[in-house]
Structure 1
Amino acid sequence: MKKICYVVTISLTIRAFFIPQLQKLAEIYDVTVICSTDNKLQYQLGDKIKYFPVDIPRGIALKETIKAIRELEAFFRREKFDMVQYSTPNAAFCASIASKSANIKVRNYHLMGYRYLGEKGVARFILKMLEKISCKNSTSIECVCNSNLRLGVQEKIFPVNKATVVWNGSTGGVDLKKFDCNKRERWRTEIRKELDISEKDILFGFAGRITKDKGINELIQAFLELKNESKLLLIGPPEGINTLDTKLWNWAKENESVLIHDAVSDIERYFAAMDVLILPSYREGFGNVIIEAAAMGTTAICTNIQGPSDIIVDSTTGLLCNVKDANSLLECMKTVLKNQYYKELGSNAENYVKNNYDNTILCEKILERKRVLLES
């Protein structure tokens, strides 16, 4: 039985994206997961998947990075994996070096996005260089969407013949059993009752980190200027509040039409309660919340950037606005409200996601891809 190892930095990444495909692979291969220490992860992975904790640092930390590389290399040499796959920038950098040093034949980089795009100056140069090293050490690269593949070639991160997109892309597709649109009306009623939102209210929503780079300033500005009876629901960890425009954030906190909510584990119920998801990010690897919301019958307005532009069929399943442009976002918000256009878009989005991002089909495609790589 051939041996595959998945490496990421933190256990949350495994939980969020990879468990279904790991369980599918474990039907045929010996599968191991490496990530940060997590006492509950093994139970969630099941008996067929092994778990080996390695603390890979986040950010730039030279001493800890060298330690992680050495620990990974020793483990790879001992286990003699046929394939090592890595995702997220730091895990990819460490695991690509370690697996090449350990003479692993197949070194597959699952490239979820480019962290350097959010930086400037020396930080951007260093992060871009690290990305190039990870790609050079890899024997194959799987991008989560075609626009990220094109950007990687354009930016000379990797050559075009080294990279591909599996099926229609995404990190792990959508679990249509969890994001079940048949439960939309029930969940919509429940959540709106919990949040004291009338069924007649139009609800715009956001799910993600509450930070400048997610376009929160533009979202609040556009909502402020919309000047109607709609509501805005912001869901996510407040880890980037210090990056926001203070006046806009204070206005949002004090306005009764804006609801600010912590991150939730049952986001599918909240997507059901929304009429329109808004993701005005400056950059995204893919934008999983778009396809998750769509599976619940909720359309999206997103910035026209790598990732979201691959998912949204503009004016059919959702709308694309200009990045860092509150006026463009405002016009899209007005457009979806005309004649309840958001309902048509939401229905189209649901069908599109079912046909293109069903995680059961994606897992089969990933299994086929692994067979090709292991037999080459």
Structure 2
Amino acid sequence: MKKICFVTTISMTLKAFVLETAKYLHENGEYDISFICNYDKDFAENLPEYIHYYPVSMERGISIGGINAMLEIKKILKREKIQIVQYSTPNASCYTSLAGVLAHIPVRLYCQWGIAYVGFSGIKRKIFKLEEKMVCKLSTWVEPDSFGNLKFSHDEKLYPFKKGSVIWNGSASGVNIRKFNIENKTIWRIEIRKKYNIPEDAKVFIFVGRVTRDKGINELFAATRKLFEKCKDIYLLIVGPNENSGSVNERLYKWSEKNENVIYCGFTNEVEKYLSASDVYVLPSYREGFGSAVIEAESMGVPVIISDIPGPTDAMKKDHTGLIVSKGSTKELAAAMYKLYRDPDLRKEYGNNAYEFAVTNFEQKKLFEKILLDRDKLLKMSVRRSRKR
């Protein structure tokens, strides 16, 4: 069997973006699968028996313990005779690209699902850009999950034009239309609105993700507060872990906690139900790899509002499935939200277009078929390279 190992810093990334791909590669491409990430007992116990799980501690942020992590990863890759090592997330990519070179892994695939330094400034930006360039240089191939980030990387000279590609239309794992089944939308809409006592005729905006500055939460809260002043039938659902570590404006954050029409729903494995209960999806983010929740919202027939950054702009069609606003602009965001609030016909038009766009361009099984072809191609390329030496 062909041997592939997936490495991320934390198990949540593997579970959310890699697990289903790995299953498909094993079942349809005769791949032996290995996972490396932090230790997570529940994650390990629920993996299929054929997936080999090797826990390695990788602290988020710059850490001297990274040397030990890199050496441990190198040891695993070499011992298991891995042919393809695929990595994403900043720390895992840094350690694994180095480990892959030292272990002489033929295919070192950097899945560039987001570029961390985009959200930084000053010396921190310079340091993380150097790290990004190093990871790209040590990798034999780079695959960003959006054409926007591919262009950005080439413009920033992170790697040459001949090194790097996007599979199909982008995204890390596409959208599972069996899970995000629009036929269940009415039932789920009633269920969630009843759970949170939201009137059927209320207009619901939804944000899915971490509550941090980088996700544009400050602008979202400020825009929503403006709308609340003149529109009394609006609700805002915040779906995802509340990771506010001081980056969110304190006054706006406290306002959101006290306002009855801002509902913190927490993390859920049933985001499709919350999207079904909503009228508009909003992602005013400062940086994204792709923005998977954008196509998930669209697959449920929900129009979207996003910021003009690489990634999400590839996941929608401007003025067809939703609206685009300038990054960091509360004024534009509030105007876009109000435009869709007051125009039910436009919401319906964008929602119908969104569904067709998502299922046509990002259906998960079609993406997996193309990923399998890509991984086989990368292996063949590595064989040709070795023969030339």
Bigger CA drift: 233-242 or 84-93?
233-242
Match of 2:184 in 1: 183
Match of 1:5 in 2: 5
- 2: distance between equivalents of 1:266 and 1:33? 25
Matched AA of 1:274: S
Q: What are the superposed Cα offsets for residues 305-325 of structure 1, whole Å, 9 maximum, x if unpaired?
A: 111111120110111011111
Match of 1:260 in 2: 264
Matched AA of 2:369: E
Bigger CA drift: 280-289 or 138-147?
280-289
Bigger CA drift: 119-128 or 15-24?
119-128
Match of 2:319 in 1: 315
Report the Cα offset of residue 237 of structure 1: 2.1
Report the Cα offset of residue 297 of structure 1: 1.3
**SS at structure 2 position matched to 1:84:** strand
- 1: distance between equivalents of 2:81 and 2:110? 18
Bigger CA drift: 305-314 or 248-257?
248-257
Matched AA of 1:20: E
Report the Cα offset of residue 241 of structure 1: 5.5
- 2: distance between equivalents of 1:339 and 1:299? 12
Match of 2:21 in 1: 21
- 2: distance between equivalents of 1:331 and 1:4? 47
Match of 1:49 in 2: 51
Q: What are the ranges of 5 or more consecutive residues in structure 2 without an aligned counterpart?
A: 382-389
Matched AA of 2:279: D
- 2: distance between equivalents of 1:244 and 1:81? 42
- 1: distance between equivalents of 2:92 and 2:281? 31
Report the Cα offset of residue 41 of structure 1: 2.5
Cα gap change, 1:42 to 1:253, in 2 (>3 Å) = closer
1:336 aligns with 2:337: no
What are the within-5 Å matches in structure 2 for residues 185-334 of structure 1?
Answer: 185-226=186-227, 227-228=230-231, 229-240=233-244, 242-334=246-338
Match of 2:384 in 1: none
Report the Cα offset of residue 43 of structure 1: 4.1
Q: Give the total of aligned pairs.
A: 375
Match of 1:361 in 2: 366
Report the Cα offset of residue 65 of structure 1: 0.5
**SS at structure 2 position matched to 1:152:** helix
Report the Cα offset of residue 87 of structure 1: 1.0
Cα gap change, 1:290 to 1:175, in 2 (>3 Å) = same
Q: What are the superposed Cα offsets for residues 137-196 of structure 1, whole Å, 9 maximum, x if unpaired?
A: 101011100010011111111111110000111011111111111100000000000000
- 2: distance between equivalents of 1:315 and 1:237? 30
Report the Cα offset of residue 336 of structure 1: 1.4
**SS at structure 2 position matched to 1:94:** helix
Q: What are the superposed Cα offsets for residues 5-44 of structure 1, whole Å, 9 maximum, x if unpaired?
A: 1111111111101111101111211111111112233443
What are the within-5 Å matches in structure 2 for residues 120-139 of structure 1?
Answer: 120-139=121-140
- The percent of aligned pairs where both chains have the same amino acid is 41
Match of 1:74 in 2: 75
Using the size of structure 2 for normalisation, the TM-score is 0.94
Report the Cα offset of residue 261 of structure 1: 2.4
Matched AA of 1:173: G
- 2: distance between equivalents of 1:53 and 1:13? 14
CA contact (8 A) 2:144 2:289 kept: no
- 1: distance between equivalents of 2:16 and 2:352? 25
